[in-house]
Amino acid sequence: MFRLENAQSLVGLALTVLLCWLVSENRREFPWRLAIGALLVQVGLIFLLFGVPALQGVVLGISQAVDGLAAGTAKGTQFVFGYLGGGDSPYPVTNPNAGFVFAFQVLPLILVISALSALLWHWGILKWIIRGFGFLFEKVMGMGGASATATAANIFVGMVETPIIIRAYLDKLTRSELFLMMVVGLATVAGSTMVAYALVLKDSLPNAAAHVLVASVVSAPAGVLLARVVIPEAKGVQGVTADYTSLLRYESSIDAISKGVADGLMVVLNISAILIVFVALVAIANLVLGLLPDIAGAPVTIERVLGIVFSPLAWSMGISWEEASKAGWLLGVKLMLTEFIGFIELGRIPAGEMSERARMIMTYALCGFANVGSVGITVSGLGVLMPERRAEVIGMVWKALLAGFLATCMTASVVGAMPRELFGIGADAPVAAAPAPVAAPPAEPAPAPAPTKTETTPAEAPKT
């Protein structure tokens, strides 16, 4: 059933395209055919996975696969780290929630997925999956073979691995095709982190694994469209045809696993360092901002500033105005920090403060590498692979960040424009306008017997 909330999401769809058109290098060349093709691919993939009863088993299978990967990873983690990795505790636990250690129970999953991805690549399975998506993008959206392959590869591997896969064609890519590869890399996530995001959201969003996977897949066409809006392909220029050969190779299965683990370890170390530093920087910034006078009865914080800046964009994606401030803050966290921190903060929001539909929309909006830190990764990675075009990459990278960020917002808008029944979401419960689940009772003499002061207070509940 089409509702006003779905029409609201169409505003976000138009807004994301409009913002990219405003910074376009050639506003007269709007890719209308590509726009139609990209939207058809997005809507078609979403409808197939969530709307066709025969494919509901795929959604269930994705969730079960994530559970299986998490359970298998837990065995290895517990063998190495013991109770820190989720094993039996050697002492009585009074606060079970404190037993969850992110570094030992989420990050090891990236190592396993990285090794598994390398193994599937060596066996040729991942190559055929990428080839299938590449063929779809090439035929439906009229892309060149190399660009279509890079777009498909970005769905499953990282921003650095994708250029390696099509390295033989890097010097032949046009300016528009190079920009497209950069944007899609920022609009999607790698398979190694995709499963970790699903694990973070597992307890706060039904079918989280399916949503995260679909988000990365359907954001690729959005990235292609917005990239071509910003830097259109010159008339008469034919895209490079790919023969699906690749310089990304492994000598054996053992070699694939070992190198996959090594690559995954670099990702884990990078994520760990970024989380430590950026969370610390936000805390320091909030301490500095705390020196300013209160505004509207509350202290100035990074969260409030980001919420104000990105609230209109969050609302345009189909999120109610009561939730727009919190959703806008999440968008700011994703852009200025990382999507990993954004997903962690999304998972921490209590059920009464954000509806299931808003959580689903934000899952799609956050699922992409488009953050300030990724700018450096993009420049350094492509600078090594194609040093002769490094200056060209630097000149386009900030536009690529904008387009990649808006691509995930466009995907979120497409999801928001579709009926909630498609995703099995019912009517939303009232959302708390302010975190007041335990409003202070009227002041009374308060008998306050001493023994009860040692018990857990209700105010601690929202932290779970």
**pLDDT tens-digit map of 148-182:** 777 777 777 777 667 766 766 777 788 888 898 89
Per-residue pLDDT averaged across 401-413, rounded? Answer: 95
Q: Does residue 464 lie within any of the structural domains?
A: no
Q: Are 178 and 165 in contact (CB under 8 A)?
A: no
pLDDT at 145: 65
Per-residue pLDDT averaged across 329-335, rounded? Answer: 90
pTM: 0.76
Q: Does residue 454 lie within any of the structural domains?
A: no
Of the listed ranges 124-138, 380-394, 407-421, 424-438, the one predicted with least confidence? 424-438
Q: Does residue 9 lie within any of the structural domains?
A: no
Number of helices (H) and strands (E), helices first, in the chain? 18, 0
pLDDT category at 434 given cuts 50, 70, 90 is very low
Q: Which residue has the higher pLDDT, 296 or 395?
A: 395
Q: Say how far apart CA 38 and CA 215 lie, in whole Å.
A: 14
Q: Does residue 431 lie within any of the structural domains?
A: no
For residue 298, give the 3-state DSSP assignment.
Answer: strand
Residue keyed to tokens 């450096």 = 376
Q: Determine the Cα angle at 188 with ends 184 and 190, to 5°.
A: 120
Is the pLDDT assigned to residue 101 strictly greater than 90? no
Is the pLDDT assigned to residue 94 strictly greater than 50? yes
Average pLDDT of every residue of the chain: 79
Highest mean pLDDT: which range of 106-115, 162-171, 257-266? 257-266
Is the pLDDT assigned to residue 119 strictly greater than 60? yes
pLDDT at 401: 94
Q: Does residue 57 lie within any of the structural domains?
A: yes
**15-36 CB burial, b ≥16 within 10 A, e <16:** bbbebbeeebeeeeeebeebbe
Q: Does residue 453 lie within any of the structural domains?
A: no
Q: Say how far apart CA 360 and CA 339 lie, in whole Å.
A: 15
Tokens of 193: 């982190």
Task: Please list, in sequence order, all residues whose beta carbon lies within 8 angstroms of the beta carbon of residue 156, skipping any fewer than 6 positions away.
Answer: 117, 126, 129, 130, 190, 191
pLDDT at 19: 95
Is the pLDDT assigned to residue 403 strictly greater than 90? yes
pLDDT category at 411 given cuts 50, 70, 90 is very high
Q: Does residue 456 lie within any of the structural domains?
A: no
Per-residue pLDDT averaged across 120-146, rounded? Answer: 75
Q: Does residue 461 lie within any of the structural domains?
A: no
Q: Are 246 and 164 in contact (CB under 8 A)?
A: yes
Of the listed ranges 17-31, 108-122, 242-256, 404-418, the one predicted with least confidence? 242-256
Q: Which domain holds residue 106?
A: 14-87+100-425
Count of domains observed in the chain: 1
Q: Are 371 and 337 in contact (CB under 8 A)?
A: yes
